[in-house]
Amino acid sequence: MNIKFTVTAVLAVVMFSLPVATSAQDRASELLEELAQAEDATEARRLENRIFSEWSKSGSAAMDLLLKRGTDAMEVRKFDAAIEHFRALTDHAPDFAEGWYGLALVYYERERFGPALDALERVLSLNPHHFPALKGVGAINEQVGKPVLAYQAYERVLEMRPHDPEVIEALKRLEVKVKGVEL
């Protein structure tokens, strides 16, 4: 009898959390479309904040708490604690892209570029429109001397986020290395 109750409870939690995740994804998709058409940097920042808000909704209060704790630890540069929180989050919610993104940020801060790229790949497999993850891929590839891959990642970011001055500057900086000099 206890097993039936437990299974029913788990299924109920899963069923109630699915619509939240789906609606958050739908809202984020709509906001991404608006972001690509943003008229100026101010409007773009407003839309980006709303997108980040939607992406940070895991559908679980416990997972949201792990995300917050990991983020808080990053802000005060307690990287070991941040890694533990993000690892716990990715272990318990492997399909939540923001957990992987947080883990990638910590690895990047620690200059562990291989694990950071692995985590970013996981983010992008879960959310191909995650422009901060693409920007991270570009930054890491630029740092490790792979300008073509960096340029391609930055181009994809600019398609989604046309008002990013850092990406525009990176593309200018890499253009000669990637495309050469026109004679």
Q: What is the reported pTM?
A: 0.80
Output the pLDDT for position 25.
Answer: 65
Output the pLDDT for position 48.
Answer: 87
In a domain, 66, yes or no: no
In a domain, 11, yes or no: yes
In a domain, 63, yes or no: no
In a domain, 154, yes or no: no
In a domain, 104, yes or no: no
Tell me the residue range of the domain where 18 lies.
1-57
Q: What is the pLDDT of residues 68-109, one digit of tens each?
A: 999 999 999 999 999 999 999 999 999 999 999 999 999 999
Low-confidence ranges of the chain (pLDDT < 70): 1-25, 181-183
Output the pLDDT for position 35.
Answer: 80
Instruction: Find the Cα–Cα–Cα–Cα dihedral 31, 56, 106, 65, rounded to 10°.
Output: 170
In a domain, 16, yes or no: yes
Burial 33-49 (b: 16+ CB within 10 A, else e): eebeebeeeeebeebbe
In a domain, 76, yes or no: no
In a domain, 35, yes or no: yes
Q: Report the number of distinct structural domains present in the chain.
A: 1
